[in-house]
A and B are shown apart, each in its own frame.
Chain A
Amino acid sequence: MPLLDVRELSVVFQRKGTKPFTAVDRVSFAVEPGETVGLVGESGCGKSVTSLAIMGLLPRRGNKVTGEVRFEDTDLLKLRPQDLRDRRGRDIGMIFQDPLSSLNPVIPLGLQVAEVLERHQGKTRQAALREARGLLDAVGIPDPARRLKEFPHQLSGGMRQRALIAIALACKPRLLIADEPTTALDVTVQAQILALLKELVDQSGTALVMITHDLGVVAGLCDTVNVLYAGRVVERAGRHALFGDPRHPYTHGLLQSVPRLDADRGGRLHQIRGSVNDNIPWSEGCAFAPRCDRVVDDCIGETVPLEPTSRGGALRCTNPVPQEVPA
C-alpha cells in the first residue's frame, strides 16, 4: 500500500469577480514508503499548489479542493482542520523554497526548531531546545548552541535551509515534501543541501516528494518522476526511463533545454517556444499544443487522456516522441 496516494486532486481558484482558474486538474500519483517522487514542471504548472493542497495549507478562502489525498488510511482532505494540524509536522514535514522568508525573522532559531517538538512530542521548552541543538548539529550547522539564540538574518542561505530541514525532520515524519528546496541557493550550496537531504532521507527511510523545475535535481534524487503541465500530469515514468527516453514532447523539450557537457559544442540549446501562458484549456485539447513541435490536428478539439505506458508509467499525448531504439 502506498504511503501517500493522491487521487484526482483538483484545485480551483475562484476570487470574487474573476473567472475560476483550475490550478491543479485531476492529478493522481502515489508515493511508496521510503520512495522519492519528483513533481516537475515550469513555474505555474501547479506543482506547488499540489503540495500545499496535500498539506492543507492553501488559504481557506478563494479555492476549492476536490479529490482524495490518502495518507496511509486517512483522507487528509476530509480531516477536521485541527486533526490535520496534529499530523502536519509530525507525520508530514515540509520544506519551502525561500529559506529566509520561510523563517520567522523576529524569533530565535532555537525556538523555531523547538516549538515543533513542544507541539508534537509534548516536550518542555528546555528539553526541546536541547534536542533542537542536536538536530541543528545533525543537519550540519556548526556551533549549534550559539545558533539557537541567533535570528534567521544572521545565518547564511544554506544554513537557513539546513535549519528548515531540521525543523521539517524534527519529529521524524514518514513523508517529507520539499518544494523547490534549492532554487534560492547558490549552486555550490544546492549540491550540499541535496546531498544532505538524500542522506537524511535514506537514513531515516522517510519518503520524499521533491517539487522542482530543475531536472538536474530530479536526476540525482528521484525514483519516480511526474511531469506536470498546466495543472495536469503529462508524463510519469521511472527516473531512468524518463531521462533516457522521454515520450512527451514537453518532457523532451525540458530535457533538451538543459545544457549538457556531452552535447555538440557548436550546437544551440533547445528552447520550448512561447511561454507557459500560451495555453489552451485542457477541455479544448492538449494545453501544450500551441507550443508543441509535434502538434497534429488531433491535438485540438477534445481532451487528451492520460494513458498507462508499457514501462509502468503514464503518458498524455496524441503524438508522442517516438521511442528510441536501444543502442
Chain B
Amino acid sequence: MSGAGGITTLADHKRRRIDELTARTSEGGGVSLIRDAGRRLLRNPTAIVGAAIILLFLIIAIFAPLVAPHDPVQRFPELTRDLTVDSVPGASAGHPLGSDPLGRDFASRMIYGARQTLFVGVLATLIGLLFGVLLGAIAGAAGGWVDVLIMRVTDVMLALPSLLLAITLVALARESTQWTVIIAVAVVNVPIFARLLRGSMLAQRESDHVLAARALGVRRRDIVLRHMLPNSLTAVIVQATLTFAVAILDAAALSFLGLGDPDINRAEWGLMLGVDGVRYLEVRPELAYFPALAIILVALGFTLLGESMREALDPKNRR
C-alpha cells in the first residue's frame, strides 16, 4: 500500500490534467461570501435592470449642465409671455417640454431634478446611515447599559411611523429649509440602521474569529473596527439601497403636505410633483406625470438593486 507519494506513478501531463479538472469542479468552494454574492448579482437580470436605471439616473445627474438645454431657475420671456395663472405654455422651439408654472424651462428642471433628487436621497440616506451605524456600533460594541439606553432611544423613535416622524420633525424644526427635509427623512432611518447593525454585531461578537481575536489579546477598538464592523456592514448597505427609494418618496410626500423644501427654485422631483404637479394636474398634467414617472423609475431602480443584493447575500441562496 503506497503512502503519501502515491501519485509518483502518474505521468506529468496527467497530473496537470487532474489539477486542471479539479480546479474547474471545485469552483465555488473557497470563494468569499461577498464575491460569491457579487457573481450571483451579475447573473441576476433584476439587479442589472436596477443598476442600469440607477446608472442612467447618475449620468444624468452628473452631466446635468451638459444635458439640460437651459438654466433650471432662469425665467424666459418667451415662456412668461404666454404664462398666466391658469395656463402654462407647452412645448415650443427651444423648450421641448414647455414651461413650468413660473416660466422656467421644464425640460431643464426635469434634468436638473435628477441631481437634486439624488442629492436629497443620498444625503438623507447617508446621514441616517452615519448616525445609525454610529449608534448601532456603540451599542453593539459596548453592550451593557449603553446598549440598553441606545436601544430604548431607538424604541421611542420607532414608536412613531416613519413618515409621521418626519412630518413631526419638520413641524418641530426651528427653520424650514432643504436641510430640514433631508434631516427629517434621515432621522427616520437612524433607528433602523442602528438596530440592524447592532443585531449583526452581536452575532459577530460571538463568532469564532472575534473570539479568536479576543483570545489573542487584540485591542477592543481594533476588534470592533477591524473585525466586527466590516462584517456587519453588508446588511446595512443593502438596507441603505432600499432606504434611498423611501427617502425620495418621503421627501415628495412632505412637499405634498406643504412641509417640504420651501425653496421652489430648487428643481427636485418630489417638490415638483408635490407642489406644482398636483396643482396643475388638470391644466398641464405633464407637470405631474414627468416628475412622478421619474420618481417611480428611480425608486424602482433602487428597490430592484437592493432586493437583488439582499437575495444574493442571503446564505440560503448559496447553492
Known: A293-B1, A293-B2. A284 touches B9 (CB 8 A): no
Which residues 13-29 in B have Cβ within 8 Å of A in the complex? 14, 17-18, 21-22, 25-26, 29
**Are B6 and A284 in touch, CB under 8 angstroms?**
no
Flag if A290 contacts B18 (CB, 8 Å): yes
Q: How many A-B residue pairs have CB under 8 A?
A: 40
CB distance from B9 to the nearest CB of A (A): 6
Residues of A close to B22: CB separation below 8 A: 278-280, 290
Q: Is A85's CB within 8 Å of the partner chain B?
A: no
For residue A163, CB closer than 8 A to chain B, the reply is no
Question: Is the CB of A241 closer than 8 A to any CB of chain B?
Answer: no
- Residue A289 at the chain B interface, CB threshold 8 Å: yes
Interface string of A252-295 (1 = CB under 8 A from B): 00000000000000000000000001111100100001101111
A290-321 near B? 1/0 per residue, CB < 8 Å: 10111111001000000000000000000000
Q: Which residues on B sit within 8 Å (CB–CB) of A326?
A: none
Quick check: is A17 within 8 A (CB to CB) of the other chain?
yes
A280 touches B43 (CB 8 A): no
How far is A279 from B21 in the complex, measured between Cα atoms in Å? 8
Partner of A300, one of B3, B17, B25: B17
**Do the beta carbons of B9 and A297 come within 8 Å of each other?**
yes
Q: Which of B18, B29, B43 is within 8 Å of A277, CB to CB?
A: B29
B43 near A295 (CB under 8 angstroms)?
no
Interface positions, chain A 24-78, Cβ under 8 Å from B, are: none
The answer to whether A278 touches B26, judged by C-beta atoms less than 8 angstroms apart, is yes
The answer on a CB contact under 8 Å between A295 and B25 is no
Q: Interface residue count for A (Cβ, 8 Å)?
A: 16
Whole-angstrom CA separation of A198 from B197 in the bound complex:
51
The residue of chain B having its C-beta at the shortest distance from the C-beta of A21 within the complex is B25
Q: What is the interface of chain A mostly: helix, strand, loop, or mixed?
A: loop
State the main secondary structure of chain B at its contact with A: helix
Cα separation A277 to B3 with both chains bound (whole Å): 21
A293 engages B6 (CB within 8 Å): yes
B85 interfacial contact with A, CB 8 Å: no
Distance, CA A280 to CA B23, complexed state (A): 10
Q: Which residue of B lies closest to A279 (CB)?
A: B25
Give Cα A148 to B11, complex, Å.
Answer: 65
Interface residues of B in 275-309 (CB under 8 A from A): none
Contact A295–B7 (Cβ < 8 Å): yes
- The 8 Å CB contact of B9, one of A17, A277, A281, A295, is A295
Chain B residues contacting A300 (CB-CB under 8 Å) are 10, 14, 17-18
CB distance from B16 to the nearest CB of A (A): 11
Closest to A15 in B: B319
B2→A294 contact, CB < 8 A: yes
Q: Given known contacts A17-B43, A293-B2, is B25 in contact with A280 (CB within 8 Å)?
A: yes
Partner of B10, one of A277, A278, A284, A297: A297
Cβ contacts B138-170/A at 8 Å (1 or 0 each): 000000000000000000000000000000000
Distance (whole angstroms) from the CB of A254 to the closest CB of chain B: 15
Determine how close the nearest CB of chain B comes to the CB of A253; give it in whole angstroms: 11
Contact with A along B18-46 (1 / 0, CB 8 A): 10011001100100000000000001000
Task: List residues of chain B with CB within 8 A of the CB of A294.
Answer: 1-2, 6
A324 to chain B, nearest CB (A): 12
Asked whether B2 lies within 8 Å of A280 as measured between CB atoms, the reply is no
Which residues does B use to contact A, with CB under 8 Å?
A: 1-3, 6-7, 9-11, 14, 17-18, 21-22, 25-26, 29, 43
- Beyond A17-B43, A300-B10, 8 extra complex contacts between A and B, CB < 8 Å: A281-B25, A293-B3, A294-B1, A295-B7, A296-B9, A297-B14, A300-B14, A300-B18
Give A contacts to B, CB under 8 Å: 17, 277-281, 284, 289-290, 292-297, 300
The 5 closest A-B pairs by CB, nearest first: A277-B26, A280-B21, A293-B6, A17-B43, A278-B22
21 A–B contacts from the bound complex (CB under 8 Å):
A17-B43, A277-B25, A277-B26, A277-B29, A279-B22, A279-B25, A280-B18, A280-B21, A281-B21, A289-B18, A292-B6, A293-B3, A294-B1, A295-B6, A295-B9, A295-B10, A296-B9, A297-B11, A297-B14, A300-B17, A300-B18
